[in-house]
Structure 1
Amino acid sequence: MIKAVIGLGNPGKQYEKTRHNIGFMVADAVVSHLKCSKKYIEKSFSHIYECHDHDVIVAKPQTYMNNSGIAVKNLIEDYKLSPDEILVIYDDLDLPLGTVKLRKKGSSGGHRGLQSIIQELKTESFPRLRIGIGRPERKEQVVEYVLSSFDKKEQLLVEKIIQHGAQCVLNVLKYGIDKSMNFCNQKIV
């Protein structure tokens, strides 16, 4: 049973609408759907929204992407959770824009935020929702690409992706991961 939904991203206005922050965007949509507390609390190096009616918290780590594991480890300790009770939402360069994949566990796939979590928790066994953002043409453009905003042509699709990601999380909370795989694992067009 998932007790914490954790969207990954970077804090600060300058990163708000970037590709790397799609985890934050989906987390915000979940907060809105669940009608969680309007005010967040600052705990475990995260912004935390308590969703009392659903016995879940939604967290947005404030440690910057590459140190997400510090916040997630503190969150697990502070709320007395196990790794299989969290659901991490993050951007994935290896999936095309519009592709969403729910997994029970796995490697970091080179994602530094996920690698930080794996390193701090000392396990790859925690659920995650991968949100495809696509890859730039040249490898040396990756940092610039993930820290750039979606362009105007992508905006409508991105909104659909965020809403699908949020609905996927709601399905996981209601039905569990196994029963949510078919719904979640889609290409959004």
Structure 2
Amino acid sequence: MKKYLIVGLGNIGAEYENTRHNIGFKILDELASNENISFSTDKLGDVATFRFKGRTFILLKPSTYMNLSGKAVKYWLDKEKIPTENLLVISDDLNLDFGAFRLKAKGSAGGHNGLKDITEKLNSQNYPRFRFGVSSNFSTGKQSHYVLGEWSKEENRYLPELLFKGANLIKSFATAGIGNTMNQFNGNLEL
């Protein structure tokens, strides 16, 4: 049975729960809810597992805080003997419009500290990532305040639909392959 490690990036703690930076956690929570499973605290993170179409999905929300996510990712890849092509990392992205989805097989960290740490710990940029656009609607010098800020009322209107779509992207990634999934899901939110 093929195994996949799906990592949602975010920060632990109630104060971060509804922030833009925690979109990775949010999407995994949506998927877990749709699959009727719950997370349990394990080494370096909260973990939930389910099976779908002959695939095992291991969902990981690292408890290491965003900037040290690589330690948890490396630990679970090694523990479960999962190849990096079966890893999917979900992060927020300031360079994409709100609600835009970008699935890629590899790439740079693009200034994202969570991705930077994962790249360093894996010693490779060759791992799939799903970037969720949060836009760059902030003034100069306010980047961290913005990503650690809560969603706007307008954004909250679209989040349920986007979270559902994000959960489906994950299942498609493991069952239909990255190419088909990119063709189906990559693009901007159609308002």
Q: In the alignment, which residue of structure 1 is the partner of 2:50?
A: 51
Secondary structure at the aligned position of 1:139 is classed as coil
- Work out whether 1:32 is the aligned partner of 2:30: no
Secondary structure at the aligned position of 1:108 is classed as coil
Q: In the alignment, which residue of structure 2 is the partner of 1:160?
A: 161
The amino acid across from 2:60 in the alignment is A
- Closer/same/farther in 2, CA of residues 176 and 34 from structure 1, 3 Å limit: farther
Distance across 2 between alignment mates of 1:152 and 1:39 = 28
Secondary structure at the aligned position of 2:166 is classed as helix
- Closer/same/farther in 2, CA of residues 39 and 143 from structure 1, 3 Å limit: closer
The count of residues paired between Structure 1 and Structure 2 equals 187
Contact persistence 1:2–1:87 (CA under 8 A): no
Distance across 1 between alignment mates of 2:63 and 2:163 = 20
Structure 2 regions of 5+ residues with no counterpart? Answer: none
Structure with the bigger percentage of helix: 1
Distance across 2 between alignment mates of 1:79 and 1:126 = 16
Q: In the alignment, which residue of structure 2 is the partner of 1:113?
A: 114
Q: In the alignment, which residue of structure 2 is the partner of 1:42?
A: 42
Q: In the alignment, which residue of structure 1 is the partner of 2:22?
A: 21
Deviations 1:33-56 (A, max 9, x none): 2333x242412x010001145411
Distance across 2 between alignment mates of 1:35 and 1:5 = 17
- CA deviation after TM superposition for structure 1 residue 183, in Å: 1.3
Contact persistence 1:136–1:142 (CA under 8 A): no
- Closer/same/farther in 2, CA of residues 158 and 90 from structure 1, 3 Å limit: same
- Relative to the length of structure 2, the TM-score reads 0.92
Contact persistence 2:3–2:82 (CA under 8 A): no
- CA deviation after TM superposition for structure 1 residue 139, in Å: 2.9
- CA deviation after TM superposition for structure 1 residue 152, in Å: 1.2
Contact persistence 1:2–1:84 (CA under 8 A): no
Runs of at least 4 residues of structure 1 off by over 3 A? none
